Amino acid sequence: MKGPSTFNRVSVAAGLAFLYLPIVLLVIYSFNASRLVTVWGGFSTKWYAALLRDDQLLDALGVTLRVGLISATLATVLGTLAAVALVRSRRGRLLFSGMIYAPLVMPEVILGLSLLLLFVAFGLPRGFWTVTVSHATVTLCYATVVVQARLVSFDGALEEAARDLGCTPVQAFFAVTLPNIAPAVAAAWMLAFTLSLDDLVIASFTSGPGATTLPIRIYSAVRLGVSPEINAISTLLIGLVATGVIAVYLLNMRRRTAAP
């Protein structure tokens, strides 16, 4: 069997460079001693130390992490339930699936404006919880897609056997189904968390005083010029997301090797 051609190798290398070279440069320049982010002035970690003294960025990071943790958990729980309903129920599946998948193809500007009008109609002040609910609403569909893909290949006879042995439907789900789809649930949570960290458009519509997320703070700062502290905090977020992705990957590999 022939190996990959030279053209394929060059294409893959060019694609990977296009995707990851900007990230590598950002990480490298986060250790730049110069204040000018495009001029290398030697290796230094002073911008990480300066980041620890930047209360505005740290507050925004704290808000972003809290919003991401809560919204990802809500989206994963609701997305898992929605995936179970889509796989096991036939009545109204077309309508329900259309409602779940609509945010996947709808522009974020429309979603942000719709959520803003909803909160205004109910008289809810914009703040931490409006951003959290908005992120959970948007990322729910992504969690549903990930979990549904695993449930489609899951052998439902295992859960039926547990019910024949005396388990209630809820007990069978938690004892049999959930452990088998746990890697997909973890991947769905990681995806929802990452999307929440990345969101700018929807948060700009639904945030309020005291609920400024990190993407909004960075966008506001970049308009006045890129600060090396932004490179530093971006590098920390890259490390956080990379750690989560690796953890999910190792969890999947561990379950595959442990399976008979």
Whether the per-residue pLDDT at 28 is higher than 90: the answer is no
The pLDDT value given to residue 189? 92
Collapse the DSSP code of 36 into the 3-class scheme (helix H, G, I; strand E, B; otherwise coil) and give the result: coil
d(CA 180, CA 191): 19
- pLDDT at 53 > cutoff 90: no
**Which DSSP string corresponds to 132-166?**
HHHHHHHHHHHHHHHHHHHHHTS-HHHHHHHHHTT
Residue 247 has pLDDT above 90, yes or no: no
Q: Is the pLDDT of residue 63 over 70?
A: yes
**Residue 188's pLDDT band (cuts 50, 70, 90):** very high
Enumerate residues 6+ apart whose C-beta is below 8 A from 183: 150, 248, 251, 252, 255
Mean pLDDT of 195-199: 89
Q: How many whole angstroms separate alpha carbon 106 and alpha carbon 100?
A: 11
Residue 218, pLDDT above cutoff 70: yes
Burial 46-66 (b: 16+ CB within 10 A, else e): ebbeebeebeebeebbebbbe
Could you tell me the two tokens for 254? 């561990």
pLDDT score, position 244: 78
Residue 9 CA neighbour count, 13 Å, CB half: 4
Q: Span 118-139, mean pLDDT? A: 90
CB 49 within 8 A of CB 31: no
Mean pLDDT of all residues belonging to the chain: 84
Beta bridge partners of 32: 43
Of 48-57, 73-82, 221-230, least confident by mean pLDDT is 221-230
Residue 1 has pLDDT above 60, yes or no: no
- Mean pLDDT for the stretch of residues 11-37: 85
Overall average pLDDT of the 192-202 stretch:
90
Specify the pLDDT at position 260. 55
Q: Please determine, for residue 72, whether its predicted confidence score (pLDDT) is greater than 90.
A: yes
Rounded to an integer, the average pLDDT of 191-212 is 88
pLDDT (mean) for 148-172: 80
Q: Does the pLDDT value for residue 75 go beyond 90?
A: yes
Which domains does the chain possess? 49-258 (1.10.3720.10)
Residue 218 · residue 135 · CB < 8 Å: no
Degrees, nearest 5: CA angle 40-46-48: 105
Distance between CA 80 and CA 74 in Å, rounded?
10
Mean of pLDDT values over 209-227? 80
Residue 89: pLDDT above 80? Answer: no
Token pair belonging to 32: 């730049």
Q: Output the pLDDT for position 2.
A: 65
Q: Please report the pLDDT score of residue 27 as a whole number.
A: 86
Predicted pLDDT of residue 208: 81
